[in-house]
Amino acid sequence: MTFQEKRLYHQIHPLKLFTDWSTGFIALYMLWRRHLSLALILMFVPGIIVSSLLVRRATLEPYKQSAFGHYVKRSITPSMEAVRLAGYGGFCITCIGQQQVAQLPSRLRASRRDC
């Protein structure tokens, strides 16, 4: 299996999926709570560690031969990966801005009192 194939098929390994989903949600919560450094660590470090371990050590051939593997081969292009990343970036921006939006009514009331 080539490095490009390993890079593609490791994305559907259950350990990689679990790592990305769990740390992704926790990182979004950390962004919402304004813990930027912790959120950035959670976004990148666990995924990089798991990805490097899977690409180096895991047997990914069963995932390549599976129906899901065939789907991934034809559907997950570099442009689709960019769309996925942009979607997650949108969630991150929303979590950062959500607190400001939630505080908007109180800011408006305070500005009316000042007039």
pLDDT in tens, 81-94: 999 999 999 888 88
Mean per-residue pLDDT, 69-87 = 94
The pLDDT value given to residue 67: 96
Note whether 33 and 102 are within 8 A (CB). Answer: no
User: What span, in angstroms and rounded, lies between the C-alpha atoms of 92 and 10?
Assistant: 24
CA distance linking residue 26 with residue 3, whole number of Å: 30
Q: What is the pLDDT of residue 34?
A: 86
Strands (E), 13-83: none
Identify the residue whose tokens are 């009514």: 105
What pLDDT shows up at residue 32?
Answer: 87
Residue 115 has pLDDT above 60, yes or no: no
Distance between CA atoms of residues 20 and 44, nearest Å: 9
Tens of pLDDT, residues 18-49: 999 999 999 999 998 889 999 999 999 999 99
